[in-house]
């Protein structure tokens, strides 16, 4: 396998590829497009949602709605075209609400669509729709119904129960045991850009602008839902204003927009309101976690037991897998994890940034802190004692692991050695506390492809059917192509966001850069081979007859590797040889690491908080973190990703909680005024570094994904810091003043 020493030096661009467009307001998102049609032809759709959590629709009186100004169509379960009963494409199977029956499964479920000339007209007409229901008893009150928990109907990425070693004997041998229950709430995605779709037809061909994290999957799902040939669907996603998992797979509004466009024979735009983001497009499920940690007096873990209960929609199971970290983070003599579900009349849950590992580290790392206190061992030392040199869940070697260095570096920068006993450090009216936790997330790769074209003027073009969620994917495409073509990044035109481009995986699971960039590397090398052969065969080229192994691309030229003064500009070579571009398609897919080793990223997170002794308000004063993520491909976009994850985790620790009315099933805080997320005033100093040690066993670039690891560990570090400040242990997120008052 190629090593990093053999690669051209990495390129660090001055700024994001699309930065100028963003800061000048010229970059367009889905809802801002009109497509290749006159704006006057565009219609607007508004989704009508159920107002009961369970039951049947008896009737819909559409008389007033249909006669309201500007209304072009009203789709209901009583008149909607019949569709095939299909399951959408992975990464998530899903029972969609496409007006095919009259059942209601949750409050907020799409049950009709009103289409009009303007959005205001559609919204007003929707308010005139008269609906009669036959309600049935709803399954709500998650925490009161834990006794009803059942095995998952679909296990997903891990079995419902996993074990290694003998749990009972290991528990019996332990000197100290922590046996507690930890709760994480429903969390709802709130990207700045809500879900949006524009659909229009050209005969039997459907084009869709859609906010999606998976262009290829979106195309496949739309085709299946509408019973269309795959080649009849074209999906375009210019840029995404945040997705975080909610846009990872298709939801009901996408085919509904296409159905409305087919019916009206006009393009239809459908943009969800902020309250409509709560329910119809997923959320992170609530989890209840019973964790038992048993250790000998020297701190060695004898047993880890983690039993997780998730809430599940009556429509479909979605497993959060918060037990993932409990299986792999620490070595122990015995380990058992289980997963079960409680049915709820709520919308289907889905992926949210760092699914599994985010809530999993949030609860496990509190339990580890409690164990350290009982053992009178420093929390960092306890983790070092139980460091897993191999993946304990599968007994495999790690492709690369430098977690111990993360602990050491972050602890030194943070000043961990100055930590004081709980409740003893008072500054003015604030109790000050510090805490730490381990961060982890799997390193994933999938098959990907890319195209590279070197133009006759010496510039180049690179494209892949991936998507940019604000993570800097277009920048990585450009800098990778520039690196392997020997060009300045400003000479690269980079494109993504179109299903006609070579296929790439979903932008989820922290895999896009690790999957797509090696494909770009391969395409660029294939283009280099073609250019090399062109030069060797060209009698007028200074490189004519030179060995191909002694030819390289540097500074916009093709040169002799051993004597770079011999060569010529790429433009001169191509102009002389027909003035045609050189094009190559490259691909990459997981190698032996997929089965022979475990690939994870790791980190150490330290937090300092101030807790007002009267109000119990918590302020996160600083977070210091060091991560082992392999090669950091782009410093600006990479550190930005981890900053964002840490900020999100402040929300997990202190703010985010989707509140369900246990009588009506309605989400009562379905707006950003009441669904609290961190703002600038909530964030203190964030100090992030990476070890930048390449993992060349994982891929040729040595880079693992980083989009999600920043969202792991930090919540527990804050929770542990709050305990250190106050001496009060809260085991239910978010940690709000009322919980501290009653602790």
Element (H, E) at 473: helix 473-485
Task: Report how far residue 123's alpha carbon sits from residue 254's, in angstroms, rounded to the nearest whole number.
Answer: 18
* pLDDT reading at 587 higher than 50: yes
Each residue's pLDDT tens digit, 615-624: 999 999 999 9
Residues carrying CATH 3.90.1170.50, the chain? 33-136+192-242+247-277
* pLDDT reading at 155 higher than 60: no
The number of beta carbons lying within 10 Å of the beta carbon of residue 615 is 11
Residues carrying CATH 3.30.365.10, the chain? 4-26+446-589, 287-444+595-742
The pLDDT, as a whole number, for residue 34 is 79
Indicate if 708 belongs to the active site.
Answer: yes
Whether the CA torsion 113, 118, 121, 124 is positive or negative: it is positive
Cβ-contact 475, 637 below 8 angstroms: yes
When the candidates are 3.40.50.720, 3.30.9.10, 3.30.365.10, 2.40.128.50, the CATH number that belongs to 287-444+595-742 is 3.30.365.10
pLDDT confidence band for 278 (50 / 70 / 90)? very high
To the question of domain 4-26+446-589 being in CATH 3.30.365.10, the answer is yes
* pLDDT reading at 142 higher than 60: yes
The pLDDT, as a whole number, for residue 14 is 76
The pLDDT, as a whole number, for residue 434 is 98
Hey, which residues does 209 pair with through a beta bridge? 198, 236
Task: Report how far residue 397's alpha carbon sits from residue 406's, in angstroms, rounded to the nearest whole number.
Answer: 19
* pLDDT reading at 438 higher than 70: yes
When the candidates are 3.40.50.300, 3.40.1190.20, 3.90.1170.50, 3.50.50.60, the CATH number that belongs to 33-136+192-242+247-277 is 3.90.1170.50
The pLDDT, as a whole number, for residue 11 is 77
The mean pLDDT value for 465-482 works out to: 95
The mean pLDDT value for 568-577 works out to: 96
The mean pLDDT value for 477-482 works out to: 96
Each residue's pLDDT tens digit, 210-256: 999 999 999 999 999 999 999 999 999 989 999 999 999 999 999 99
Say whether 347 sits in a helix, a strand or coil: coil
Task: Report how far residue 104's alpha carbon sits from residue 96's, in angstroms, rounded to the nearest whole number.
Answer: 12
Of 652, 722, 706, residue with least CA distance to 322: 652
What does the radius of gyration of the chain's CA atoms come to, in whole angstroms? Answer: 27
Task: Report how far residue 27's alpha carbon sits from residue 20's, in angstroms, rounded to the nearest whole number.
Answer: 9
> What is the percentage of the chain residues whose pLDDT exceeds 90?
91
Say whether 685 sits in a helix, a strand or coil: strand
The whole-model pTM stands at: 0.95
What 3 state SS string does 93-124 have?
CCCCCCCCCCEECCCCCEEEEEEECCHHHHHH
* pLDDT reading at 561 higher than 60: yes
Each residue's pLDDT tens digit, 101-131: 999 999 999 999 999 999 999 999 999 999 9
> What is the percentage of the chain residues whose pLDDT exceeds 70?
97
């Amino acid at each position: 396998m190629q090593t990093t020493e053999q690669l051209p030096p990495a390129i660090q661009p001055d700024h994001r590829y699309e930065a100028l467009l963003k800061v000048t307001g010229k970059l367009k998102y889905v809802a801002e497009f009109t497509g290749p049609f006159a704006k006057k032809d565009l219609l607007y759709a508004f989704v009508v949602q159920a107002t009961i959590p369970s039951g049947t629709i008896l009737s819909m009186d559409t008389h007033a709605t249909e006669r309201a100004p500007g209304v072009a169509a009203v789709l209901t379960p009583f008149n909607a075209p019949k569709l095939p009963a299909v399951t959408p494409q992975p990464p998530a199977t899903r029972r969609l609400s496409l007006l095919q029956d009259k059942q209601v499964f949750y409050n907020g479920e799409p049950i009709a669509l009103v289409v009009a000339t303007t959005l205001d007209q559609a919204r007003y007409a929707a308010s005139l729709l008269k609906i009669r229901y036959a309600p049935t008893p709803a399954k709500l009150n998650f925490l009161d119904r834990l006794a009803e928990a059942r095995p998952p109907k679909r296990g997903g990425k891990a079995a419902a129960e996993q074990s290694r070693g003998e749990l009972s004997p290991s528990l019996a041998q332990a000197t100290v045991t922590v046996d507690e229950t930890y709760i994480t709430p429903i969390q709802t995605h709130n990207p700045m850009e809500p879900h949006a779709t524009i659909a229009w037809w050209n005969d039997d061909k459907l084009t869709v602008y859609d906010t999606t994290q998976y262009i290829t999957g979106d195309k496949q799902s739309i085709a299946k839902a509408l019973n269309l040939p795959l080649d009849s669907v074209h999906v375009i996603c210019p840029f995404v204003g945040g997705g975080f998992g909610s846009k990872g797979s298709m939801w009901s509004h996408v085919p509904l927009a296409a159905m409305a466009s087919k019916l009206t024979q006009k393009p239809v735009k459908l943009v969800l309101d902020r309250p409509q983001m709560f329910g119809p497009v997923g959320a992170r499920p609530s989890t209840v976690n019973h964790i038992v940690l048993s250790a000998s007096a020297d701190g060695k873990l004898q047993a880890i037991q983690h039993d997780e209960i998730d809430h599940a929609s009556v429509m479909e199971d979605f497993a959060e897998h918060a037990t993932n970290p409990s299986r792999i983070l620490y070595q122990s003599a015995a380990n058992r994890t289980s997963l079960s579900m409680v049915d709820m009349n709520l919308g289907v849950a889905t992926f949210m940034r760092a699914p599994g590992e985010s809530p999993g580290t949030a609860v496990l790392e509190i339990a580890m802190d409690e164990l350290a206190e009982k053992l009178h061992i420093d929390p960092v030392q306890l983790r070092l004692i139980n460091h897993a040199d191999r993946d304990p869940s599968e007994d495999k070697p790690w492709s690369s692991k430098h977690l111990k260095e993360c602990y050491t570096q972050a602890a030194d920068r943070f000043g961990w050695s100055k930590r004081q006993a709980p409740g003893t450090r008072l500054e003015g009216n604030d109790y000050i506390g510090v805490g730490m936790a381990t961060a982890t997330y799997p390193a994933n790769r999938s098959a990907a492809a890319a195209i590279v074209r070197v133009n006759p003027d010496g510039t180049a073009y690179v494209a892949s059917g991936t998507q940019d969620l604000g993570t800097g994917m277009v920048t990585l495409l450009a800098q990778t192509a520039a690196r392997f073509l020997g060009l300045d990044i400003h000479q690269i035109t980079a494109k993504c966001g179109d299903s006609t481009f070579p296929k790439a995986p979903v932008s989820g699971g922290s895999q896009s850069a690790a999957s797509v960039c090696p494909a770009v590397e391969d395409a660029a090398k294939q283009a280099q081979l073609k250019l090399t052969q062109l030069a060797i065969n060209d009698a007028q080229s200074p490189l004519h007859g030179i060995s191909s192994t002694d030819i390289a691309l540097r500074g916009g030229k093709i040169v002799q590797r051993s004597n770079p003064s011999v060569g010529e500009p790429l433009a001169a070579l191509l102009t002389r040889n027909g003035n045609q571009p050189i094009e190559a398609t490259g691909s990459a897919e997981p190698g032996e690491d997929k089965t022979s080793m475990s690939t994870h990223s790791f980190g150490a997170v330290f937090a300092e908080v101030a807790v007002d002794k009267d109000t119990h308000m918590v302020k996160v004063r600083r977070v210091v973190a060091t991560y082992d993520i392999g090669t950091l491909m782009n410093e600006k976009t990479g550190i930005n990703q981890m900053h964002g994850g840490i900020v999100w985790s402040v929300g997990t620790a202190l703010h985010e909680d989707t509140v369900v009315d246990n009588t009506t099933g309605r989400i009562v805080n379905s707006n950003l005024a009441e669904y609290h997320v961190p703002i600038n005033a909530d964030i203190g100093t964030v100090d992030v570094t990476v070890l930048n040690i390449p993992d060349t066993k994982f891929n040729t670039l040595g880079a693992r994904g980083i989009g999600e690891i920043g969202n792991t560990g930090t919540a527990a570090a804050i929770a542990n810091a709050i305990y250190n400040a106050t001496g009060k242990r809260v085991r239910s997120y978010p940690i709000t003043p009322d919980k501290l008052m009653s602790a």
